[in-house]
Amino acid sequence: MIVFLVSCCKRKKKRKHAQIGYYRDNSHGVMNSRHYYNNSGQHGNNWQNNNKLQSTDQFGKMPPSAQVSSEHSWPIAPPPPPPVMSSSEMSSAAFSGPHQPPLPPPHPAMALGFNQSSFTYDDLAAATGGFAKANLLGQGGFGYVHKGVLPNGKEIAVKSLKSNSGQGEREFQAEVEIISRVHHRHLVSLVGYCSAGSQRMLVYEFVANNTLEYHLHGAGRPPMDFNTRHRIALGSAKGFAYLHEDCHPKIIHRDIKAANILLDENFEAKVADFGLAKLSSDTNTHVSTRIMGTFGYLAPEYASSGKLTEKSDVYSYGVMLLELITGRRPIDMDGDDDTLVEWARPILIRATEGGDYDELIDPRLEGKFDAQQMLCMVACAAASIRHSAKRRPRMSQIVRALEDDVTLDDLNEGGKLGHSATLSSGGSSEHDGGSYDIRKFRKSSMSSQEYSSSENGESREFRQSKK
């Protein structure tokens, strides 16, 4: 009798193990919008809720997924796969002892550690009304941006990348994985992506209050008060400091400009377009490319060397600071001055030596500003646009200076702010790359396919269209 009972128990265990479905390799998945946003409208921080869901044919003994209810609705996603583990956790789980069955190889997306959502082309076409012209937010050197609405009512910005990048599928997914790990209150968040053949799209949170460029230079716009300008300067500096110093590998933006600073309903700054930046590792400290960025913001060493570093970003940020201080555009298309920097340099020297900022400050402020905060902004701008990249401060130093947490001497490791050697346009040795012809470089930059600004074509990324 005892032998008979033992035999029955063994048969039950075998039948139970036979019903276990194993995760199988499949590169196609279906996502549900709940995994992009939580109920409060913010991006979910629970990594289990952000895992890429797979279609039901990846799991044994699971019921089929529900049918699509309408043309513009998404299918209901099947139950999620097991939680994504780190590589060390995967390794330990795969060799957890003789009592556990061996696990099959992980899905490529799991191996890359994706915590963002994969959209299909049809998903994004439905969200953007077929990429309708009415939903076009803008365009730049990398492609078009459309506003979209997910089935749960959340607004998104869909960037359709140009298909001539030459980037392979795995390289694209690896870059998306790195970008997806970047989360900061002053950075526009990537919430998903789409890869369908040669068509690549990135899905970002939608930021509704337009760009810094629009509010500073838009026709008929009321002047921005100083407190708002200072808040934008500080917030964007924190975002860039995070990219440069807290991301591994560090991320060089390459195209810092007022059009890439988005503003939320409280006029808090959010840095956009960093998702298309080239990534720099510890062994590769610069990026050499064709002409990128926007003339008027480009660092002088880029003209002679073609190299972009985090100090090149600092220079571009300094130009943007000058925009906030002066209310002027980076390029005077109608005047005699080539750039805002060339106009401001002699004034900055006088201002930092004599303490008189009247000639520099936007007259629309009508003298209504905090003198100490203005001094900090002027000092940061002067230090950031130094000809010598080595003498420019780090973004974290700029953050501390704008917060008035340190003395301004913290910016002066390379020399005094008002010293002519650090701000003047003379001396090729100051460029860390030999002499350059600024007029020739300007012509080359403006003829580049990647050049864009509000004065020479649309560059309004991820923002609300003008009414």
> Where are the alpha helices (H) located in 284-339, listed in sequence order?
300-305, 310-326
Count other C-beta atoms under 10 Å from residue 458's C-beta: 16
CB 329 within 8 A of CB 217: yes
Q: How many CA atoms lie within 13 A of 163 on its CB side?
A: 6
Residue 466 marked ligand-binding: no
Query: 391-430: b or e for each residue (b if 16 or more CB lie within 10 Å)?
Result: bbbbbbbbbbbbeeeeebeebbebeebbbebbbeeeeeeb
CB 211 within 8 A of CB 262: yes
Is residue 165 classed exposed, middle or buried when 0-12, 13-18 and 19+ CB atoms within 10 A define those classes? middle
Question: Of these residues, 25, 246, 255, 404, which one is catalytic?
Answer: 255
Question: In 3-state terms, what secondary structure has residue 398?
Answer: helix
Q: How many CA atoms lie within 13 A of 117 on its CB side?
A: 28
CB 116 within 8 A of CB 192: yes
From CA 115, how far away is CA 35, in angstroms rounded? 10
With residue 353 as reference, give the H or E element that holds it. Answer: helix 340-354
Q: Is 255 one of the catalytic residues?
A: yes
From CA 77, how far away is CA 74, in angstroms rounded? 8
Report which residue type is found at 237.
A
Please identify every residue annotated as catalytic: 255
Binding residues: 159
Binding residues for ATP: 159
